[in-house]
A and B are shown apart, each in its own frame.
Chain A
Amino acid sequence: ENVLTQSPAIMSASPGEKVTMTCRASSSVSSSYLHWYQQKSGASPKLWIYSTSNLASGVPARFSGSGSGTSYSLTISSVEAEDAATYYCQQYSGYPLTFGAGTKLELK
């Protein structure tokens, strides 16, 4: 099983700040097969970034994704209040499909 480790578990940012969260895989993941989801409290996860760096429909351009192999990241160039949520990475490189434990972004 490909274990995805996300860090930090919780982060706090002020509006306008740049933030980066990471997702590290125990085995290499093709960049086509590493995705990110946003989940707000009480809601289901939403596809946010697919195949490492492609923004899903409706995702603001302040979000970006990068990485390769076993290390991936999601960056928000200028955090806004609406970005407060938990972000999960997910891999499709091998079965079982797995998710990271999530990074919770809090706004100061």
Chain B
Amino acid sequence: DVQLQESGPGLVKPSQSLSLTCTVTGYSITSDYAWNWIRQFPGNKLEWMGYISYSGSTSYNPSLKSRISITRDTSKNQFFLQLNSVTTEDTATYYCASLTGPWFAYWGQGTLVTVSA
């Protein structure tokens, strides 16, 4: 069974970078699928942030394009989110999820990141 688990700091200061890791078990991230970051704001709005595909290509939400980077470590079966120059508006629960075809079949449990001084 495919499982995803987010990890990273729960508190980030404004203007700093947010860095999260998604560890995937039960499936190789180089076999297939696109590996995504999705966030859910207070109030529950869901925003797709971007993905890194099994081949290493990336796609980002234009609303974030200048601040976001998604990379991976295939030896550890992990992929990463870096979001630069964060503000309090980046406070959200961050999920990693697999896009298995045109839908998100597997999700991590989510990690709350608060941006605050």
Contacts and interface: CB of A to CB of B under 8 A. Distances in A.
Nearest to B93: A44
Contacts of B45: 99, 101
Q: Is the interface of B mostly helix, strand, loop or mixed?
A: loop
A45 B61 contact: no
Interface in B39-71: 44-48, 59, 61-63
A32 interface: yes
B33 interface: no
B35 interface: no
Please classify how large the interface on chain B is, using the bins under 10, 10 to 19, 20 to 34, 35 or more. 10 to 19
A88 B48 CA distance: 13
Interface string B80-117: 00000000000000010000001111011110000000
A75 interface: no
A24 interface: no
Contact of B61 (A32, A35, A92, A96): A96
Interface residues of A, number: 23
Given A32-B102, A35-B102, A92-B102, A46 B107 contact: yes
A9 B92 CA distance: 21
A92 B103 contact: yes
A90 interface: yes
Interface in A49-108: 50-51, 56, 86, 88, 90, 92, 95-99, 101-102
**List of 6 A-B pairs having minimum Cβ-Cβ separation, nearest first:** A92-B102, A99-B46, A97-B48, A44-B107, A96-B61, A35-B103
